[in-house]
Amino acid sequence: MSTDDDRPARDRHLPVLMQRCVDLLAPALAEPGSVLVDCTLGMGGHTEAVLEQVPTARVLGIDRDPQALALASARLARFGDRFVPVHAVYDEIGDVVDEHADGAVQGVLMDLGVSSLQLDESERGFSYAQDAPLDMRMDQSRGMTAADVLNTYDERDLVRILRDYGEERFAQRVARAIVRRRQERPWERTAELADVVRGAIPAATRKTGGNPSKRTFQALRIEVNGELEVLERAVPAAIEALAVGGRIVVESYQSLEDRIVKRAIARGTTSSAPPGLPVEPETHKPYLEALTRGAEEADDAELERNPRSASVRLRAARRLRPTPDHLLGTSRKESR
């Protein structure tokens, strides 16, 4: 695949809250042979920091983007078999852990959203600031593109994804403009979409809140890659992959992601016992302990170092005990 940038991965991406992530994960990785699953490997910045600072750890690096896997693998080759790249979507974490780590791991890291690699390469179509084909697939070897969505979804479905995934106040107006424009010619380019969205948003509203296309591009990206459905499956699966004492750290960048993560962690940190019982049964005690007070945000130093950290929300938890059987659900694997 051709790229817009031939620099090595280390020079192309600054990981968000890198040291905070390492500090949260390191206590669980202290024993020799401990395994971290980096569910969203990207260009390998977080994984590199863990492998450098925690010599007892090895990392399984998952990414659906073959280009990211290639760049990260080149970056991390010096660590030998302490790093294993895996081409998969991260809701497949259970299968990955079963294959490479005997069914349980000591750490899980998720750095959600679109990666710097995908944003910075115009040909990928993720950015409204650069004209490119309307692609937006994180794995360009499979699945529908953003152009497919724009050219085939009916107006009602377009409204739904713009409202639900982009939190677009003017979803109806934007969807109507998209349908009207495709009756003239098919959707192909990001610049055309940005222009049409801008025209559909009331002028008074365009004066604040940044580029008016941001919400539409976010909604399309989430739809094309099934991001929220994947995350809904992935967070519980990641928790079930953790051995007792293991830790999960998740970085989210928009409220829809953070809500899913918050709900999954809250489920594990809250007693499931009916109110009013004089003694809490062991099987109803929390199986997770929160390691952050709510969601942590980037401080001023991090913001100055890395402007892309402005919207980050970090949550972390530690596994206290196996998940009680009555909370697993019939479709989950048995608790590790």
Q: What are the sequence ranges of the domains in the chain?
A: 9-117+228-328, 140-225
Cα distance between residue 32 and residue 312, in whole Å: 31
Specify whether domain 140-225 bears CATH 1.10.150.170: yes
- What DSSP state is assigned to residue 38? E
Cα distance between residue 238 and residue 104, in whole Å: 10
Other CB atoms within a 10 A radius of the CB of residue 271 amount to 12
Q: Is 46 annotated as a binding residue?
A: yes
Whole-number pLDDT of residue 14: 82
Whole-number pLDDT of residue 12: 52
Q: Is 111 annotated as a binding residue?
A: yes
User: Per-residue pLDDT tens for 68-125?
Assistant: 899 999 999 999 999 999 999 999 999 999 999 988 999 999 999 776 555 556 677 7
Q: Is 4 annotated as a binding residue?
A: no
Is 100 buried (19+), middle (13-18) or exposed (0-12) by CB count in 10 A? middle
Q: Is 118 annotated as a binding residue?
A: yes
Whole-number pLDDT of residue 122: 63
Q: Which residues of the chain are modeled with pLDDT < 50?
A: 1-5, 7, 9, 330-336
Classified by CATH at the fold level, domain 9-117+228-328 comes out as Rossmann fold (3.40.50)
Q: Is 90 annotated as a binding residue?
A: yes
Other CB atoms within a 10 A radius of the CB of residue 195 amount to 14
Whole-number pLDDT of residue 266: 96
Cα distances from 118 to residues 13, 71, 133, 205, 259, in angstroms, run 11, 12, 13, 28, 24
Q: Is 67 annotated as a binding residue?
A: no
Other CB atoms within a 10 A radius of the CB of residue 203 amount to 9
Please determine whether the domains at 9-117+228-328 and 140-225 fall in the same fold group of CATH: no
